[in-house]
Structure 1
């Protein structure tokens, strides 16, 4: 019963955090962390954070959804810089920060220092999105950060796993490390792709033969990331990469899938369910993170008691030195990566200059989050010979403190740096949108004409079918004509006309909804009929909004 009450309390904190963040104008993750800490101070008990369970419950659905929804064209367009950040930057951070920690804290063995550096390398795009809400990050930059975070979690956790193995056994073999990394990555991706492909094929086959159950389809989509994650972990591969690969595979199978693979109602309801899951899971991660903070911070004196610098203020020095080193390492790598990759032009002429402000934004956007804390808590208590793991408590304290400091620093600095930042111009895709609408309308005209002829054949009143078809086809012909003008002014006028029509339709739908509610309150309409008509209006409003 206590677990149920605690879970409900955590969910209530997630609900309250949104309005509090808007009122106080504090970044949402910081509000959620503060609420989590407040819950512990009031109740006196915190959730026992089991890292393996934490990974299983939260990471698969969130990473799956990110892989599913991230624009693939943007991901592949900037694949070079994303891979450089997700792979090269992690290794660069592990080496640079690892040696710094080893030099700065004599009590921390090199392997443990590398493990801490590895788990501090993954970034948290959820926190960045919340922090930048008041000064939105340009889409292209956000897509790069999202793509980086999808991959660097696996890279950082893999490097940490290798460092912990070296610390436990006292040996490190480079060939074994490379082989292990390759297995984790290749088998993890393959597991995610294979599981999702099989699930979608089986789901489509069942739907074609016996029809589609909307509830079952949504539940299958919720279970797919867990299946991919567990399959990869069973093969001792990366479950994180499996979840990401599963999401990307889902997006491709949805786009290229067979007819009837998912009904419109399934897609609408499934999107709503996944939005709720994303909102709740993101919030719970930071609330639980906040719950862990009081117990970690209360052990500050214990952390430094047995070190060569027993003063507590040395912990602040270590934390700010780590945050500064992470920022410098990221700044150097990002600046180099942008110069070599992102701004490289194939056409003639000098490439654009890489601005220091853009580099600073990319550096500060590397905020650490809940994955860092959950990962560092997986460090074993003992070595292979049974002796205590050196500096384990110190590593946990430093990781938690870096998370808080990096969040606060990004909250203060990012909105200011983002004002007026310039990136290579984003393609508007307006021409592609017009071409898509024309092609879709042309296909609809052919289908309506064929269907009306088929329905009218042998019927006593064939003109009725032709009249109805003609009325519908007029709308599609208007759509084609409004987008086939060669004059740019005519095209702009057509787009303005669409915007005006959208606004007027929304006004009309709002009036319809209010009138139906009035009729339902007056008992002129029965409840079931009113609900049906209101749902039709809601679906139309979704189309125009």
Structure 2
């Protein structure tokens, strides 16, 4: 039960971090998650438990590496393969050796094997952490490809090196020749195992789909099951499970061919599930890092035999060694690498030195490093506690936090995002498409589909409002002016109705008095609202207020006189208050219908903002619903079905608007594809019921 409570706390913190990151975009999501992990630890209901290190490796490392290998751009990876392998293997080995020997020399209590294990764990970088940094930093496509390729390959090399160093620390013996032989067997064997399983997986996926046996559920479950099968199967054959996962991830295709709603639905759900899983696993690791920090800090900080200054100094020293080695290595690779076009080596210019700095701080430590440190056993083979385990974990955590902080705050300075965000650049175009769709829907309103179309128009209005908020173009003043104008439309309608009643009096005196009284009360309400919402302080406003209040007072005095005379004569009034109230509601509904019609007409013109008209339509429809009786359940079901049909029709309108904009030259082909892709997703959702 304690493990279940721990998982619930982690998931809740990950969900909360996704919301908080929207409000602080300049702070990377991993940093937010680390802070949340620290906070969760101090909550009274937080369970006191820990995860098995081996379970942690299988649960987090296998699916994350598999997804990272599968989604990497293969063509971009090939272009930067030499540099990526240089960083992933060469720099990882140098970092492992340098950190190991320096740490052991500075702090002899840490054995050389344990220090080498820490150095190996600090080799892998976390490209996911960089991609989740604020939008202030701008990396080139080559830099992103290089960082992702390095992160993919150095995960494997770092983990293999860590496992051998940890084995030496665990057993206390380390034979170089035997270790080298085991390394080669593990490396080659894991790669071959991954390629074989990846080939079989491709065949299984294609065969199941071609035979028509595939369903969305079975396909997603097979994809999710594959990385765990790869890791556990490779470990059973005593080869590297990490390399098996990476090799299979690079080779597995996840067949996405075929035509039909089922294929489309499966592909969309697959991408969504893997996206959620990736964010959740990465977030869980950083939440666990935050949870582990207080415990590791307390255990080491309160130890009287360990100097706190030594702890802080070692963290700064190890971080400095890692960053310095990385900067020197990247600069050397840039100097040695030949130009693709000329084949000549290029000199280091200030721009290239800046690029080396970007690549240095663009490789912070994160998920893999922490996951590896969690796998350190609590006891050695002899049964004694693993020496300095808390301190090693504390040092690794400190280095992770420092490198993340440096990446978060130095990358925007080294690579400022001077260009426009592509996603933000698409917002105005999307708004134009949605506005055109709303205008087209307005022209298709009939008495039969009126309510359904207005509901769909309201949905489009909300989408436009959300998009405008993203780019800071909301206009509350314009909506306020339209609301005041709508009140004037109500006033004109009621005035015309009152004039018509007085010009054509009813034969029944009671009905005549009822209609007049209801209209006058409606006018009093509208005029009183207008007096409170008027914002124009120009001349005549005060006089208008005085006149309005005088007319309202005069009508109330007349009504009071009528009722007083009726009581004196011991007679009942022609109409009761209940009748007046009911008739007032009827006229109010008629006035609302009149305003709704005016708003629908205005949506086809350029006088007022389209989304303002739609938003006000929603307000008046809500007022109408509160004044009228609720529809029955069968009517509601029919209305929902009609709304869904209108939504499907609106998607077709959007596609035609996009095509017209492309043919007119308002958008390019890439923008057209991006806009269409979103609509296709909504169409599949509507047709298949995702």
| Match 1:370 to one of 362, 367, 371 | 367
Q: Which residue of 2 aligns with 1:213?
A: 215
| Match 1:527 to one of 620, 637, 640 | 640
Write out aligned runs for 1:94-173 (5 A): 94-173=96-175
| Match 2:403 to one of 403, 406, 413 | 406
**Displacement of 1:32:** 0.7
Moved more, 12-21 or 525-534: 525-534
Q: Which residue of 1 aligns with 2:353?
A: 356
Distance verdict in 2 for CA 1:299–1:233, change over 3 Å: same
Write out aligned runs for 1:466-481 (5 A): none
In structure 2, distance between residues paired with 1:179 and 1:54: 27
- Other structure's SS at 1:42 match: coil
Say whether the 8 Å CA contact 1:207–1:260 is kept in structure 2: no
| Match 1:50 to one of 49, 52, 72 | 52
Write out aligned runs for 1:208-287 (5 A): 208-251=210-253, 254=255, 263-287=263-287
TM-score normalised to structure 2 length: 0.61
Cα deviations by residue, 1:244-279 (Å, 9 ceiling, x for unpaired): 22222223x637x79999822221221122222222
Cα deviations by residue, 1:194-230 (Å, 9 ceiling, x for unpaired): 2232123123223322443122212212222222222
| Match 1:181 to one of 180, 183, 187 | 183
Say whether the 8 Å CA contact 2:285–2:370 is kept in structure 1: no
Q: Which residue of 2 aligns with 1:457?
A: none
- Other structure's SS at 1:254 match: coil
- Other structure's SS at 1:191 match: helix
| Match 1:324 to one of 306, 320, 323 | 320
Say whether the 8 Å CA contact 2:216–2:265 is kept in structure 1: yes
Moved more, 315-324 or 173-182: 173-182
1:395 counterpart = 2:397: no
Q: Which residue of 2 aligns with 1:7?
A: 7
In structure 2, distance between residues paired with 1:179 and 1:171: 15
Structure 2 residue runs of 5 or longer lacking an equivalent are: 420-425, 446-451, 457-620, 622-634, 656-674, 680-690
In structure 2, distance between residues paired with 1:119 and 1:7: 25
In structure 1, distance between residues paired with 2:318 and 2:411: 19
In structure 1, distance between residues paired with 2:228 and 2:261: 21
**Displacement of 1:66:** 1.6
TM-score normalised to structure 1 length: 0.76
**Displacement of 1:65:** 1.8
In structure 1, distance between residues paired with 2:103 and 2:287: 29
**Displacement of 1:133:** 3.4
**Displacement of 1:61:** 2.2
Q: Which residue of 2 aligns with 1:450?
A: none
**Displacement of 1:100:** 0.6
**Displacement of 1:175:** 2.5
Cα deviations by residue, 1:277-301 (Å, 9 ceiling, x for unpaired): 2222222221122111111111123
**Displacement of 1:352:** 5.6
Cα deviations by residue, 1:142-162 (Å, 9 ceiling, x for unpaired): 111111111112211211221
In structure 1, distance between residues paired with 2:235 and 2:384: 28
In structure 2, distance between residues paired with 1:285 and 1:528: 44
Distance verdict in 2 for CA 1:101–1:160, change over 3 Å: same
Cα deviations by residue, 1:389-413 (Å, 9 ceiling, x for unpaired): 3322321221122112221222221
In structure 1, distance between residues paired with 2:215 and 2:231: 25
Say whether the 8 Å CA contact 1:102–1:113 is kept in structure 2: yes
Write out aligned runs for 1:295-310 (5 A): 295-302=295-302, 305-306=304-305, 310=306
Structure 1 residue runs of 5 or longer lacking an equivalent are: 423-497
In structure 1, distance between residues paired with 2:48 and 2:441: 46
| Match 2:339 to one of 344, 347, 351 | 344
In structure 2, distance between residues paired with 1:19 and 1:179: 49
Q: Which residue of 1 aligns with 2:331?
A: 335
Say whether the 8 Å CA contact 1:47–1:288 is kept in structure 2: no
Distance verdict in 2 for CA 1:400–1:248, change over 3 Å: same
- Other structure's SS at 2:327 match: helix
Q: Which residue of 1 aligns with 2:519?
A: none
How many residues align? The count is 463
In structure 1, distance between residues paired with 2:392 and 2:194: 32
Q: Which residue of 2 aligns with 1:543?
A: 677
| Match 1:518 to one of 436, 454, 462 | 454
Write out aligned runs for 1:428-447 (5 A): none
1:313 counterpart = 2:309: yes
Kindly name which structure, 1 or 2, has the bigger radius of gyration based on alpha carbons. 2
RMSD, aligned CA: 3.3
In structure 1, distance between residues paired with 2:197 and 2:438: 44
In structure 1, distance between residues paired with 2:129 and 2:74: 22
**Displacement of 1:141:** 0.8
**Displacement of 1:117:** 1.0
In structure 2, distance between residues paired with 1:93 and 1:283: 26
Cα deviations by residue, 1:481-508 (Å, 9 ceiling, x for unpaired): xxxxxxxxxxxxxxxxx99998765555
- Other structure's SS at 1:237 match: coil
Distance verdict in 2 for CA 1:501–1:372, change over 3 Å: closer
In structure 2, distance between residues paired with 1:33 and 1:368: 13
Q: Which residue of 2 aligns with 1:418?
A: 415
**Displacement of 1:3:** 4.0
Q: Which residue of 1 aligns with 2:83?
A: 81
